[in-house]
């Protein structure tokens, strides 16, 4: 299996080398021009979240900057807005985990528990961009789990609210980016 994989991986570089050193190797197809697709990466767009809209749950609220106080080990919170954790990447179409959190209150994220896979969240930014995400999964964790801050990969959105009988846990909702404009 490793031999077959090596042959497949090495085939294209070997053939380019062979053709460059043996000009008549493709004489049968001498009038054929090889066209290779050019990968042009999309321009990176990003922006600070200022509004979150989840149509299926009728959530449409402002997002303000949120900060972590290391001394008291607490995050800033309000009763009627979501907070963008400024220590995480802004919403973007390149990479990283944009983290937005808020209270489990009617005015903020209490309806998140009803979200279903595939439903969308839209983030609007301070510079006029719009990022649309599809809900993938949810997990409950303790308040000291900081694994989401170490994420590296495709752009995602994580929403967090409190959970548990006494709101002692944290519920994380993960969304995958599907569109940016």
Q: Is the dihedral of CA 137, 143, 145, 149 positive or negative?
A: positive
- Those residues with Cβ within 8 angstroms of residue 153's Cβ, 6 or more apart along the chain or in another chain: 95, 96
Q: How confident is the model at residue 42 (pLDDT cuts 50, 70, 90)?
A: low
Fold designation for 46-180: Sortase; Chain: A; (2.40.260)
d(C-alpha 157, C-alpha 44), whole Å: 16
Distance CA 21, CA 143 (A): 62
- For the stretch 6-36, pLDDT in tens is 433 443 443 343 334 444 433 332 333 343 3
Higher pLDDT, 22 or 52: 52
Q: Please, which pLDDT band fits residue 132 given cuts at 50, 70 and 90?
A: very high
Distances (CA, A) of 97 to 2, 7, 41, 135: 35, 37, 20, 14
Range scoring the smallest mean pLDDT among 21-25, 74-78, 100-104, 138-142: 21-25
Mean residue pLDDT of the chain comes to: 83
Confidence of residue 39 (pLDDT cuts 50, 70, 90): very low
Position 78 scores a pLDDT of: 95
Q: What is the mean pLDDT of residues 134-162?
A: 94
Q: What pLDDT, on a 0 to 100 scale, did the predictor assign at position 35?
A: 38
Question: Model confidence over 66-93: pLDDT tens digits?
Answer: 999 888 888 999 999 999 999 999 999 9
What is the enclosing helix (H) or strand (E) of 173? Answer: strand 169-180
User: What is the per-residue pLDDT across 113-124, written as a single tens digit (0 to 9) for each?
Assistant: 999 999 999 999
Q: 166 versus 135: which is more confidently predicted? A: 135
**Contact between residue 58 and residue 112 where contact means Cβ atoms under 8 Å apart:** no
């Amino acid at each position: 299996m490793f031999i077959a994989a090596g042959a497949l991986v090495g085939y294209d570089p070997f053939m380019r080398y062979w053709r460059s050193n043996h000009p008549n190797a493709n004489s049968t197809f001498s009038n054929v021009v090889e066209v290779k697709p050019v990968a042009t990466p999309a321009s990176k767009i990003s922006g600070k979240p200022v509004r979150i809209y989840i149509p299926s749950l009728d959530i449409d609220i402002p997002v303000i900057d949120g900060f972590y106080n290391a001394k008291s080990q607490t995050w800033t919170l309000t009763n009627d807005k979501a907070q963008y954790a400024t220590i995480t990447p802004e919403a973007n179409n390149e990479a990283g985990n944009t983290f937005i959190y808020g209270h489990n209150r009617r005015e903020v994220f209490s309806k998140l528990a009803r979200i279903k896979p595939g439903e969308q969240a839209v983030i609007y930014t301070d510079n006029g961009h719009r990022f649309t995400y599809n809900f993938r999964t949810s997990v409950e964790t303790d308040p000291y789990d900081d694994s989401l801050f170490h994420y590296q990969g495709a752009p995602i959105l994580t929403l967090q609210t409190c959970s548990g009988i006494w709101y002692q846990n944290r519920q994380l909702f993960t969304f995958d980016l599907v569109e940016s404009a």
